[in-house]
Protein backbone atom coordinates (compact mmCIF):
# COMPACT_ATOMS: atom_id res chain seq x y z
CA UNK A 1 0.00 0.00 0.00
CA UNK A 2 1.28 3.47 -0.91
CA UNK A 3 2.16 5.56 2.15
CA UNK A 4 -0.22 8.30 1.01
CA UNK A 5 -3.08 5.82 0.90
CA UNK A 6 -2.81 4.64 4.50
CA UNK A 7 -6.10 5.18 6.31
CA UNK A 8 -5.98 7.52 9.31
CA UNK A 9 -6.77 4.55 11.56
CA UNK A 10 -3.49 2.88 10.51
CA UNK A 11 -1.52 6.08 11.14
CA UNK A 12 -3.21 6.40 14.54
CA UNK A 13 -1.96 2.90 15.46
CA UNK A 14 1.59 3.53 14.19
CA UNK A 15 2.21 6.96 15.74
CA UNK A 16 2.02 8.41 19.24
CA UNK A 17 -0.99 10.60 19.92
CA UNK A 18 1.08 13.78 19.56
CA UNK A 19 2.78 12.56 16.38
CA UNK A 20 -0.61 11.66 14.90
CA UNK A 21 -2.15 15.03 15.80
CA UNK A 22 0.78 16.97 14.32
CA UNK A 23 1.73 14.83 11.31
CA UNK A 24 -1.68 13.63 10.17
CA UNK A 25 -4.04 16.34 11.49
CA UNK A 26 -1.80 19.42 11.12
CA UNK A 27 -1.55 20.39 14.78
CA UNK A 28 1.47 22.19 16.27
CA UNK A 29 3.48 21.16 19.31
CA UNK A 30 4.00 23.82 21.97
CA UNK A 31 7.07 25.99 21.54
CA UNK A 32 10.21 25.00 23.48
CA UNK A 33 8.80 21.54 24.34
CA UNK A 34 10.06 19.46 21.41
CA UNK A 35 12.93 17.02 21.69
CA UNK A 36 14.98 18.72 18.97
CA UNK A 37 14.31 22.45 19.42
CA UNK A 38 17.75 23.00 20.97
CA UNK A 39 19.55 19.83 19.88
CA UNK A 40 23.13 20.24 18.66
CA UNK A 41 23.65 16.56 17.75
CA UNK A 42 25.03 16.25 14.20
CA UNK A 43 22.98 14.06 11.89
CA UNK A 44 20.09 13.81 9.49
CA UNK A 45 16.50 14.46 10.49
CA UNK A 46 14.08 11.99 8.91
CA UNK A 47 10.30 12.00 8.61
CA UNK A 48 8.90 10.14 11.63
CA UNK A 49 6.12 8.69 9.45
CA UNK A 50 7.99 7.33 6.43
CA UNK A 51 11.72 7.67 7.18
CA UNK A 52 12.67 9.90 4.24
CA UNK A 53 15.59 12.29 4.84
CA UNK A 54 14.33 15.84 5.37
CA UNK A 55 16.91 18.13 7.04
CA UNK A 56 20.64 18.01 7.78
CA UNK A 57 21.83 19.32 11.15
CA UNK A 58 24.39 21.41 9.19
CA UNK A 59 21.42 23.58 8.05
CA UNK A 60 19.98 23.88 11.59
CA UNK A 61 20.18 27.19 13.44
CA UNK A 62 18.84 28.70 16.65
CA UNK A 63 16.03 31.02 15.57
CA UNK A 64 14.75 31.51 19.11
CA UNK A 65 11.23 30.53 18.01
CA UNK A 66 11.02 27.35 20.11
CA UNK A 67 10.98 24.84 17.26
CA UNK A 68 13.84 23.28 15.30
CA UNK A 69 14.74 25.66 12.48
CA UNK A 70 16.64 24.97 9.26
CA UNK A 71 17.62 27.24 6.38
CA UNK A 72 17.09 24.48 3.78
CA UNK A 73 15.90 20.88 3.41
CA UNK A 74 18.24 18.10 2.25
CA UNK A 75 16.70 18.47 -1.21
CA UNK A 76 13.82 20.29 -2.87
CA UNK A 77 12.25 16.92 -3.61
CA UNK A 78 12.09 15.98 0.09
CA UNK A 79 9.36 18.47 0.94
CA UNK A 80 6.42 20.20 -0.62
CA UNK A 81 4.96 23.57 0.24
CA UNK A 82 1.31 24.67 0.31
CA UNK A 83 -0.55 27.86 1.06
CA UNK A 84 -2.06 27.74 4.56
CA UNK A 85 -4.79 30.26 5.38
CA UNK A 86 -5.70 28.85 8.81
CA UNK A 87 -5.91 30.97 11.95
CA UNK A 88 -6.73 34.11 9.96
CA UNK A 89 -3.27 34.43 8.37
CA UNK A 90 -1.35 33.34 5.29
CA UNK A 91 1.58 31.00 5.88
CA UNK A 92 3.40 28.40 3.81
CA UNK A 93 2.91 24.90 5.19
CA UNK A 94 5.70 22.34 4.76
CA UNK A 95 4.85 18.66 4.23
CA UNK A 96 6.86 15.53 3.60
CA UNK A 97 6.76 14.96 -0.16
CA UNK A 98 6.71 11.17 0.26
CA UNK A 99 3.96 10.61 2.86
CA UNK A 100 2.26 14.02 3.13
CA UNK A 101 3.02 14.41 6.86
CA UNK A 102 2.59 17.94 8.20
CA UNK A 103 6.05 19.14 9.29
CA UNK A 104 5.61 22.84 10.04
CA UNK A 105 5.91 26.11 8.11
CA UNK A 106 8.54 28.06 6.20
CA UNK A 107 9.09 31.80 6.69
CA UNK A 108 11.19 34.35 4.76
CA UNK A 109 13.17 35.50 7.82
CA UNK A 110 16.01 32.99 7.97
CA UNK A 111 19.78 33.37 7.60
CA UNK A 112 21.96 33.23 4.50
CA UNK A 113 22.35 31.53 2.16
CA UNK A 114 18.60 31.00 1.60
CA UNK A 115 16.95 33.63 3.80
CA UNK A 116 14.42 30.97 4.80
CA UNK A 117 13.42 29.53 8.18
CA UNK A 118 11.87 26.11 8.07
CA UNK A 119 10.13 25.99 11.44
CA UNK A 120 9.51 22.28 12.04
CA UNK A 121 7.72 20.32 14.77
CA UNK A 122 10.12 18.01 16.64
CA UNK A 123 7.53 15.21 16.78
CA UNK A 124 7.47 15.05 12.98
CA UNK A 125 11.21 14.24 12.97
CA UNK A 126 13.52 11.37 13.88
CA UNK A 127 17.20 12.27 14.21
CA UNK A 128 19.72 9.75 12.92
CA UNK A 129 23.04 10.90 14.45
CA UNK A 130 26.20 10.95 12.36
CA UNK A 131 28.80 8.43 13.31
CA UNK A 132 31.88 9.99 14.90
Catalytic residue numbers?
119
Q: Is 23 annotated as a binding residue?
A: no
Q: Is 49 annotated as a binding residue?
A: no
Q: Is 99 annotated as a binding residue?
A: yes
Q: Is 47 annotated as a binding residue?
A: yes
CB atoms under 10 Å from CB of 7, counted, come to: 9
Cβ atoms 45, 127 nearer than 8 A: yes
The DSSP output letter for 54 is E
16-53 in b/e burial notation, b at 16+ Cβ within 10 A?
Answer: eebbbbbbbeeeebeeeebebbebeeebbbbbbbbebe
Feature table: binding site for Zn(2+): 47, 50, 96, 99
Amino acid sequence: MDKLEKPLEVWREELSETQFNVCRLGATERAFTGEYHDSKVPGIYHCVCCGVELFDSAAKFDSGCGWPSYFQPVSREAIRSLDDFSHGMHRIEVKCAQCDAHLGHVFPDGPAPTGLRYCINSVSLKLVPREA
